[in-house]
């Protein structure tokens, strides 16, 4: 909970500055109350007998000894410290060890009172950096782990911001950003993102039709863009059919096939040597996942989950042609419209971003409203 929220929770309707001022007034009133109570107590001592005073002193000393055995370190407010520091001057120094604080503590309290009395708030100096400058500095440091404060300062000068290098260093230090050598190491996310540019992953998904006939779906997904390629649908997958699907994929990719260096697949016997040869001919290395380790091909497995949740679990598949038709519509929706968190809410295939305007937003229902897409209405 922030300071403003805490102040609002304790004193509803008041800001943080008003709450701090209210605390100071309470402490001042408490100090005045303690002083008044002490003065009244001193006046009442003059009308009491010496025997009653001595008896009360003995009782209070005994109570203090009991409390010191139970409480290791009492908590005093500012008003309590001020009053005790002032009254301790009236007690002989030899009696100070009987107090529940040491003599050095009492002297320190008194020095604090004197210092606060004569301390003048420091004003002037260099004005702080603007919040916008601070955001730019932290952004450059986060996006470029190998940059030091001098490199960030040079980039800011190139952007037209005039500030001292020490200001950049101070902003990074107050934000808890380590120097460049300590944060220059590549994170797992950055490493995997860099490697994903040249990785393909393929896998099978199966569908049970209305007549309980199993159909197999072979697909390939690009790890960097999350674009999915449907290789084929069949009820009897074999090595020859899978190899032909691989050849068809290479023809569809064309010149883009040179961008990929690895293909991840499991150890299914349907992935024969002929299938691997299709990719190795294009200098794509085959990476086989461990036995019974679906997490080793997590991106492909996640797409199968999305396919089931968004399509297969919500419709009945009649036959192969029906499955191919609905898969074609779903893949078009998935590749060209569906947002992805790993792509900053963009689809795998880039599309022009419309400019928000005061126009009517229309819904485009696909597969009978099973999938919905929203866009601005076209103005005639």
- Give the C-alpha distances (Å, rounded to integers) separating 135 from 130, 131, 168: 9, 6, 11
Position 329 confidence tier, pLDDT thresholds 50, 70, 90: very high
- 280-321 tens-digit pLDDT: 999 999 999 998 888 889 999 999 999 999 999 999 999 999
Q: Give phi and psi for 3, each to the nearest 5.
A: -65, -40
If you write DSSP's letter for every residue of 213-262 in order, what string do you get?
-EEEEEEEEETTT--EEEEEEESS--HHHHHHHHHHHHHHHGGGGGG--E
Position 12 confidence tier, pLDDT thresholds 50, 70, 90: very low
| Strongest mean pLDDT among 10-14, 45-49, 110-114 | 110-114
At 207, which helix (H) or strand (E)? strand 199-208
Whether the pLDDT of residue 184 is over 70: the answer is no
- Give the C-alpha distances (Å, rounded to integers) separating 120 from 81, 116, 123: 22, 8, 9
Locate all alpha helices (DSSP H) within the chain, ordered by sequence: 3-10, 16-45, 50-70, 78-87, 103-118, 131-143, 149-158, 165-174, 180-183, 188-196, 239-253, 273-280, 298-310, 320-336
- 111-157 tens-digit pLDDT: 777 777 777 766 666 777 888 889 989 998 888 877 888 888 888 88
Mean pLDDT over 213-221 rounds to: 96
Position 356 confidence tier, pLDDT thresholds 50, 70, 90: low
Q: Where are the domains of the chain?
A: 3-118, 131-185, 198-343
Position 192 confidence tier, pLDDT thresholds 50, 70, 90: low
Q: Give phi and psi for 232, each to the nearest 5.
A: 170, 165
Position 96 confidence tier, pLDDT thresholds 50, 70, 90: low
Mean pLDDT estimate for the chain: 81
CATH architecture, range 198-343: 2-Layer Sandwich (3.30)
- 243-271 tens-digit pLDDT: 999 999 999 999 889 999 999 999 999 99
CA 314, 317, 318, 324 torsion-angle sign: positive
């Amino acid at each position: 909970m922030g300071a403003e929220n805490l102040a609002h929770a304790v004193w509803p309707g008041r800001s943080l500055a008003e709450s701090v001022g209210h605390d100071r007034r309470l402490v001042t009133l408490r100090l005045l109350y303690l002083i008044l109570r002490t003065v009244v107590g001193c006046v009442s001592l003059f009308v009491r007998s010496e025997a009653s005073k001595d008896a009360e002193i003995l009782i209070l000393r005994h109570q203090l000894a009991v409390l010191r055995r139970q409480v290791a370190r009492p908590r005093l407010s500012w008003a309590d410290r001020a009053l005790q520091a002032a009254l301790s001057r009236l007690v002989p120094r030899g009696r100070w060890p009987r107090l529940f604080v040491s003599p050095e503590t009492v002297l320190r309290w008194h020095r604090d009172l004197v210092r606060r009395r004569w301390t003048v708030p420091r004003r002037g100096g260099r004005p702080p950096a603007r919040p916008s400058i601070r955001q730019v500095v932290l952004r450059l440091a986060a996006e470029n782990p190998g940059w030091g404060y001098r490199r960030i300062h040079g980039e800011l000068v190139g952007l037209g911001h005039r500030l001292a290098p020490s200001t950049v260093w101070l902003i990074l230090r107050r934000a808890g950003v380590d120097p460049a050598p300590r944060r220059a190491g590549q994170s797992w996310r950055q490493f995997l993102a860099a490697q994903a540019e040249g990785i393909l992953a393929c896998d099978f998904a199966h569908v049970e039709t209305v007549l309980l006939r199993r159909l197999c779906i072979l697909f390939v997904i690009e790890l960097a863009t999350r674009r999915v390629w449907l290789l084929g649908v069949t009820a009897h997958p074999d090595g020859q059919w899978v190899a032909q699907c691989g050849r068809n994929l290479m023809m569809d990719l064309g010149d883009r096939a040179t961008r990929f260096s690895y293909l991840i697949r499991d150890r299914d016997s349907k992935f024969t040597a002929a299938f691997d040869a299709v990719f190795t001919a294009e200098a794509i290395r085959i990476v086989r996942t461990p036995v019974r380790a679906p997490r080793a091909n997590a991106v492909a497995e996640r797409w199968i989950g999305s396919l089931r949740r968004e399509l297969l679990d919500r419709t009945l598949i009649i036959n192969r042609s029906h499955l191919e038709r609905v898969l074609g519509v779903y893949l078009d929706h998935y590749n060209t419209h569906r947002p992805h968190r790993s792509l900053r809410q963009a689809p795998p295939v880039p599309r022009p971003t419309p400019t928000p305007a005061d126009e009517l937003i229309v819904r485009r229902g696909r597969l009978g409203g099973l999938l919905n897409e929203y866009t601005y209405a076209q103005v005639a």
